[in-house]
Every structure is written in structure tokens, then in C-alpha cells.
């Protein structure tokens, strides 16, 4: 492994940044992460994934006084998509880069303290760029995943490897790109690789040793494990899958999960069933005794963090046939009437609210325009399909009937995380307005080969814009305002008690909007497209904001006509950190 340690690192090891020993991060620290603005210990700025900061020093009146404090380059020739979220702890920023790298950066100076490079093997099979979405801190370690489907524990102070464990076999198409989730001393991971006929799974490991505690496959028919022994089967064999299709059924858990401490529940989303061709899976024309729903693909699952048992499920797109993954983050919140809810903005174009006790359906409303595949969502939460909008069955032909579908397979919303404001009660959802020509093709499974059975071309549906950041009222689904952008939005959103909504664009602009009106209040040009996730924190009495800039991700690789529209954008890899100085905090 490649690790670089500077003199500054040695100083930290000997004395600690504050002149004393660095205390380990506890479960209580993780539980309170959202309420402690001096650090950011978890993906989502809290395990509920609200991405809301209680800091209000920086606000609508003084946002114009926010200016760059330092910038850090990832360096080298590995300037690919940078979808990461930085973590902040004890005066150090920890941030991952493309090609499975981790950096520790001095928070005050922007100086590199150490670097870890996973040194990936030949033959990795990442679906959608060589990205990494961040790490997780617990005890004296930081954990992150690699593109060859491994999970690594590093020493916070030195970057030394504590342990390195295999999640799955990358040669079969597995990879790992999400930030891990830590609950009660367990490191919880999903897996990636849904386009290769893999099987989605959630795994829990002992944080200290890396030893497996439990595994939970998410496709019916597969057996879970607990403490090294078989536990229970997922679902009921062949209840919703024909024949042996479940054995390569997809459902990758590639975005990771959230944790609801109130109900002690892990909530994970699952990806598309494999292959894309729904007719091969019995989902195009369900037969008697088999619904064709292909559980638990394209679903949200509530999982017991101690045992890996599934508590409940909600399937957003049963009979899925458009690559509408159900992995989008599930955010815990309390609505205006005091009800404890989950919210999730699905790839299929609908914004869902669920009950937090049992995952039961509450409501769903469209958040993008011109949806074609369904007329709406019924009172049970099930879509009302437009059967003529399903890609046709190829039978003996080279391909089935082509349809134009909205949204495209990249979704009304893809991976890019939304934010919830406790101040306004609204969700701020990065979405895209596009459609696709899609058709089915014959396909058979081959280990390590793409397993789609479909072809597609993505197209914009409006001349004026593709990207659309929407403020949504969860109780009604009403869209209060809509900030439109020429290129697709592909990065995360953050909101603050200061009334600000932060996000970035592929054109390189880092932007702050008014949370109530959507008015642009501030922006900064970072020099490369932004697909990363912003954070804010307090350091030495001043408020800071950080975003990682570096264009890439799925759009340039899979975007069809849209990719051509943005092919002029430059790649990069820079951590931009801004601050509001004390003397300007009170200035208007």
C-alpha cells in the first residue's frame, strides 16, 4: 500500500493537535453528530442523512463575506469524478478521492498530513466512474471502501492499515463506492455492481477486527448469516422470481444506508433487478402464482442492526423495467404535525413519505415532469403502470419495441443526496429533467460481463434546462421553488440554520441559495464540475464550508445526447474550503 507521512503527521502522533491525546470517537459521538458543529463524523452530517447544520453564524445577511481559506489538490493524473463528502475531526479533514484514495488534511492550513492509496488491481469493473463517496470514523480509525470491493480500516493519526477485508469478488463485477455506516461498534456496508448480475447484500463487521458479524442478501432465496452460521432466508424462494433468475438477481445496495436511532433500524435501498429486460424476469407479463415483483430489488428495507434480519420492506418500483434503482437515501425526519417519517426521492420520479415505525406508505407525489411509465401511485404505494410504456419483449427478434420513457434510467434523482431543513421543514432535492429511448434485447448471464439486456439513449426533454433543484414540502409534495440549471445536477445538497442551501453544478459553480425563495445569494467558480457533497463546521470560533470539485460520475459515461452536451467540462480534483472570518460575521 502507498502511504505518505509528513513531519506534520509526526507532530500529531506525538502531541495531538490540541497538545493532548486524540480521544476516540464513540457511539454517543455518532448519535450526536448532527448537533455538534465542531465536527462531521458521518456521511450525511448525521446518520439520519438530513444534511442540516444548526450553525447560523453564516447566514443570508453575511454570505457575501464567505471567501476561500485554502484549496487542496488531489494531484497526479487521477482527476476523475469526485463524489466524496469530507469528514472533520479534531482539527483534521479526512477526504477520499477517485481511484480509492484517502487524504488527511490539516484543517487550519490545508497541508497534507498523510495519504493512503489502495493500489487497485487490474480488471476492476466499476459501473459509473472510479469514484468514492467518503468514509466513516469510529474509535481511532477511519473506514472506507475500495473499487475492488474491499473495506479498509486506517489509523486516524498515521494512515497505517489496521485491517483490510474483502466484501466480494471484484472479478465477478462487484465493487464498492459508498461511505460505510457505523452503528454500535459495527461497520455496515453494502455493495456495488448491479449491471453485472451480482446479488445485493448488506454486511456488518466488528469495527475493531473487521470480522463478519452478519450478512443479509437482499434478493429472495438467498441465505443470510449470523456469527458465521446460516440464519434465515431472504423472502420466500420463487415467490416473485421465475426459475433460477434470483441467483443473479441484482439489487445492489450501492449507495449505503442510514440509521434511525428512534426505532433502532438500518434503512438500506436496493438497486435494479438483473437483467434490465423485465420480460426475462417474469415482470413484463407476470404469470399466475408469481407477481413478477422481483423482491427485494428496487426497494427500501428496514434491517435490525444487531442481527441483519429484515423488519419491513417497501418496494418503490415492483416489476421494474427501466433501471429505476431504489437505492436513493432514506432521510428520517419529523413532519409539521409531529409525525415521525421517512422521506426518499426515487429514481422513478416520485417523492415518497413512509412511516418510521414499519416503513408503511404515507404518500407519494411526482417531483419531475412528464413521467411516462406510471399514471401515478395508488393508495397502497404501488405504481399504476402504463403498460404501453414498458420496453417491449424481444422474443426471437434482435430487440423489442422501443419506447420513449421519462425519467431516464439515470433517474429523476440519482445518487446525489438531498437535504432537509429543520428550519423550513422542506426537502431540497437535486433532480434532472430528461428521458430516454429504451429497448430490450436478448441476454444471458456470464460471470463478470455486463448483464443488461437493454439499449438506451438519454435525451433532454426541455431546451431550457436539465438540472433542477427543487424545494419540496413533504406533507403535500408541493414544489415551493425550482432552481434550474443548464447541465444535469449530480452533486449533494446541504442546508443550514442560517437559511442557506448549498450545492454545486457541473459548470463548476458552488452556490448558496435562500432556503425560502431559491434566490441565488452567493457563488464561487471552482474550475471543474462539482459532483461532491458540501459540509459546514465550526473551527476556532469561525464557520467554514467545504466542497470537493472534480467533474465525472455517470453522466459523461452513460449520458447519450446529454453527455455530448457537457463534453466540454474539465475534470479535476480540488478540496475548496471557505470561511467567514469573525470580524465579518456581523457585517451585512
The CA distance from 230 to 146, in Å, is: 27
Other CB atoms closer than 10 Å to residue 561's CB: what's the count? Answer: 13
Q: Can you tell me the distance from the alpha carbon of 77 to that of 74, in angstroms, rounded to the nearest whole number? A: 9
Catalytic pick among 33, 323, 346, 515: 323
Exposure b/e, 375-401, CB count within 10 A at least 16 = b: eebeeebbbeeeeebbbbebeeeebbe
How far is the C-alpha of 223 from the C-alpha of 50, rounded, in Å? 33
Cβ(354)–Cβ(345) under 8 Å?
no
Return the percent helix, strand and coil in the chain, to nearest 5.
Answer: 10, 35, 55
- What is the per-residue burial (b if ≥16 Cβ within 10 Å, else e) of 135-166? bbbbbbbbbbbbbbbbbbbbbbbbbeebbebe
Residue 148 annotated to the active site: no
C-beta separation of 506 from 566 below 8 A: yes
Q: Is 472 helix (H, G, I), strand (E, B) or coil?
A: strand
Integer Cα distance of 407 and 405 in angstroms? 6
Distance CA 536, CA 419 (A): 13
Radius of gyration of the chain (CA): 22
What CA–CA distance (Å, rounded) separates 362 from 339? 11
**Residue of 230, 179, 182 lying closest to 207 (CA atoms):** 182
Closest CA to 92 of 72, 68, 110: 110
Taking the C-alpha atoms of residue 246 and residue 238, their distance in angstroms, rounded to an integer, is 8
Pairing type for strands 494-496 and 52-53 reads parallel
CB 10 within 8 A of CB 17: no
DSSP letter assigned to residue 492: -
The C-alpha cell 432466508 sits at 233
Q: CA 506: distance to chain centroid?
A: 17
Residues labelled catalytic = 323
Amino acid at each position: 500500500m502507498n502511504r505518505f507521512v509528513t513531519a506534520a503527521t509526526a507532530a500529531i502522533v506525538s502531541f495531538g493537535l490540541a497538545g493532548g491525546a486524540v480521544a476516540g470517537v464513540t457511539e454517543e459521538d455518532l448519535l450526536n453528530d448532527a448537533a455538534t458543529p465542531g465536527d462531521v463524523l458521518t456521511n450525511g452530517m448525521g446518520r439520519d442523512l438530513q444534511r442540516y447544520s444548526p450553525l447560523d453564524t453564516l447566514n443570508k445577511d453575511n454570505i457575501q463575506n464567505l471567501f476561500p481559506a485554502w484549496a487542496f489538490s488531489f494531484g497526479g493524473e487521477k482527476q476523475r469524478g469526485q463524489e466524496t463528502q469530507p469528514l472533520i475531526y479534531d482539527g483534521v479533514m479526512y477526504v477520499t478521492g477517485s481511484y480509492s484514495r484517502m487524504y488527511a488534511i490539516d484543517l487550519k492550513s490545508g497541508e497534507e498530513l498523510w495519504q493512503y492509496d489502495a493500489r487497485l488491481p487490474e480488471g476492476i469493473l466499476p459501473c459509473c466512474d472510479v469514484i468514492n463517496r467518503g468514509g466513516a470514523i469510529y474509535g481511532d480509525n477511519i473506514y472506507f471502501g475500495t473499487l475492488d470491493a474491499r473495506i479498509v480500516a486506517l489509523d486516524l493519526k498515521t494512515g497505517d492499515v489496521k485491517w483490510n477485508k474483502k466484501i466480494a469478488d471484484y472479478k465477478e463485477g462487484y465493487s464498492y463506492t459508498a461511505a460505510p455506516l457505523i452503528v454500535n461498534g459495527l461497520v455496515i456496508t453494502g455493495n456495488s455492481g448491479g449491471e453485472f448480475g451480482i446479488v445485493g447484500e448488506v454486511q456488518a463487521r466488528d469495527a475493531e477486527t473487521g470480522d463478519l458479524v452478519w450478512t443479509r442478501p437482499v434478493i429472495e432465496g438467498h441465505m443470510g448469516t449470523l456469527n458465521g452460521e446460516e440464519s434465515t432466508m431472504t423472502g420466500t424462494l420463487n415467490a416473485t422470481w421465475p426459475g433460477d433468475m434470483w441467483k443473479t438477481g441484482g439489487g445492489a445496495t450501492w449507495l449505503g444506508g442510514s440509521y434511525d436511532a428512534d426505532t433502532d433500524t438500518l434503512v438500506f435501498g436496493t438497486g435494479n433487478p438483473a437483467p434490465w429486460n423485465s420480460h426475462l424476469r417474469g415482470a413484463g407479463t407476470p404469470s399466475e402464482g408469481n407477481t413478477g415483483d422481483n423482491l427485494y430489488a428496487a426497494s427500501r428495507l428496514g434491517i435490525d442492526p444487531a442481527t441483519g434480519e429484515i423488519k419491513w420492506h417497501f418496494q418503490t418500483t415492483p416489476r421494474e423495467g427501466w433501471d429505476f434503482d431504489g437505492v436513493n437515501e432514506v432521510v428520517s425526519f419529523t413532519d409539521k404535525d409531529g409525525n415521525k417519517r421517512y422521506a426518499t426521492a426515487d429514481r422513478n420520479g416520485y417523492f415518497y413519505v413512509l412511516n418510521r415505525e414499519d416503513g408503511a406508505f404515507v404518500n407519494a407525489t411526482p417531483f419531475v415532469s412528464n413521467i411516462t411509465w406510471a399514471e401515478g401511485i395508488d393508495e397502497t404505494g404501488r405504481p399504476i403502470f402504463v403498460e404501453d410504456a414498458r420496453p417491449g419483449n424481444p422474443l426471437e427478434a434482435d430487440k423489442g419495441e422501443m419506447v420513449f420513457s421519462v425519467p431516464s434510467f439515470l433517474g429523476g434523482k440519482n445518487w446525489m443526496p438531498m437535504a432537509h431543513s429543520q428550519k423550513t421543514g422542506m426537502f431540497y432535492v437535486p433532480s434532472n429533467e430528461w428521458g430516454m429511448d429504451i429497448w430490450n434485447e436478448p441476454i444471458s448471464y456470464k460471470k463478470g460481463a455486463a448483464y443488461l439486456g437493454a439499449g438506451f439513449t438519454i435525451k433532454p426533454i426541455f431546451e431550457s434546462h436539465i438540472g433542477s433543484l427543487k424545494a419540496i414540502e413533504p406533507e403535500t409534495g408541493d414544489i415551493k421553488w425550482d432552481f434550474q440549471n443548464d447541465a444535469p445536477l449530480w452533486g449533494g445538497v446541504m442546508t443550514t440554520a442560517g437559511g442557506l442551501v448549498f450545492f454545486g453544478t457541473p459548470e463548476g459553480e458552488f452556490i448558496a441559495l435562500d432556503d425560502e425563495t431559491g434566490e441565488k445569494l452567493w457563488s464561487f467558480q471552482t474550475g471543474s464540475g462539482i459532483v461532491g457533497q458540501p459540509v459546514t463546521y465550526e473551527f476556532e470560533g469561525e464557520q467554514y464550508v467545504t466542497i470537493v470539485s472534480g467533474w465525472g460520475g455517470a453522466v459523461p459515461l452513460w449520458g447519450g445526447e446529454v453527455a455530448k452536451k457537457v463534453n466540454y467540462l474539465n475534470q479535476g480534483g480540488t478540496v475548496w474550503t471557505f470561511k467567514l472570518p469573525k470580524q465579518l460575521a456581523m457585517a451585512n
